[in-house]
Amino acid sequence: MALSAPSKLYSDDVSLVVVLLDANPFFWAGANAATSANQPANALSFSRFLSHVLPFLNSILLVNQLNRVVVIAAGVRSCGYVYDSGGGGDGGRATGLCALLLRRLEEFVERDRKLCKDGERAAENASSLLSGSLSLALCYIQRVFRSGTIHPQPRGSPDGPEQYVAVMNAIFSAQRSMVPLDSCVVGIQHSAFLQQASHITGGVYLKPQQLDGLFQYLSMVFATDLQSRSFLQLPKPAGVDFRASCFCHKKTIDRGYVCSVCLSIFCKPHKKCSTCGSDLKQPSADSNPKADSKRKTPDA
């Protein structure tokens, strides 16, 4: 499945960059502890991570007077706008970006923490709300209605398969509006969601090897305006993990059953499709289990 976004000719290098920051405290606490034992060079606390991201945001505002930056934070139970550079009257100067953004981020994490019910200890693999933050970002972009947009997402926490449907919907609407989604993944695991997102929308997926040089990765790869991207050598992914989650149990599967009307995916045969309500043909007792199933394998 090789759908990629059509290349567009951009007339100038004005950009609107919406950055989705993963502010999942469970991930960040764990990441720092785990990696610092094995590879001290790659230990990255949230504050050091921010010390790379903030200059990256400043660099976008520096490069063109008309550029705008919006930051959305994704937490465990909520996501929200944290910073918008176009809010002021003086055309997006980066005065006070750092102080304002840090303060708002703190407030956001506090609010998110309060939303987790008291006493409930989230699982270590709690994933952050990628789908919600993607939708927020896309709605904002639609409102602003500019065509030259990029969409980097420094992210670390693992994918939550329960968000599969929402995330894929967001990815397809991004593809429709020609918004490239770039992903910068921090942490041990790759993220299948983000690989697919970047592949389908024509963005860049990167998992930096040396995290204390994070700013250099960000400025070389992600700070590129859309016009220049067609001329520069950007990292290409080695392979994309196209596995889906089933709609009934939200498990990741690579073989399953597909409704022929609405293309919903199920891991076990059902009588009726839960999404569109059409009757599904049952596999007969001795039939080849491959007859009704569609195999999805990672493309090379």
Q: Give residue 120's identity as a one-letter amino acid code.
A: E
The reply to whether 228 sits near other proteins by the rule CB under 8 A is: yes
To the nearest whole angstrom, how small is the minimum distance from the Cβ of residue 11 to other proteins? Answer: 7
Give the footprint of other proteins on residues 231-270 (CB under 8 A): 231-233
Residue from the set 1, 2, 9, 11 that interacts with other proteins by CB under 8 A: 11
To the nearest whole angstrom, how small is the minimum distance from the Cβ of residue 203 to other proteins? Answer: 17
CA distances, 77 to each of 25, 81, 239 (Å):
11, 14, 31
To the nearest whole angstrom, how small is the minimum distance from the Cβ of residue 226 to other proteins? Answer: 10
Binding segment for other proteins (CB under 8 A), chosen from 17-25, 85-93, 161-169, 175-183, is 85-93
Binding mask 34-63 for other proteins (x = CB under 8 A): --------------------xx--xx-xxx
Kindly state the tokens that stand for 2: 């090789």
Residue from the set 19, 50, 71, 97 that interacts with other proteins by CB under 8 A: 97
SS (H, E, C) 43-81: CCCHHHHHHHHHHHHHHHHHHCCCCEEEEEEECCCCEEE
Which residue, 95 or 278, has its beta carbon nearer to other proteins? 95
Binding segment for other proteins (CB under 8 A), chosen from 19-27, 164-172, 216-224, 288-296, is 216-224
Which residue, 89 or 119, has its beta carbon nearer to other proteins? 89
If we measure between CA atoms, which residue out of 201, 116, 196 comes closest to residue 163? 196
The reply to whether 216 sits near other proteins by the rule CB under 8 A is: yes
Q: How far apart are CA 129 and CA 147, in angstroms?
A: 25
Q: How far apart are CA 181 and CA 191, in angstroms?
A: 13
Number of residues that bind other proteins (CB under 8 A): 35
Name the 3-class secondary structure at 300: coil
Contact 204, 234 (CB under 8 A): yes
Residue length of the chain: 300
Kindly state the tokens that stand for 61: 């505002």
To the nearest whole angstrom, how small is the minimum distance from the Cβ of residue 89 to other proteins? Answer: 7
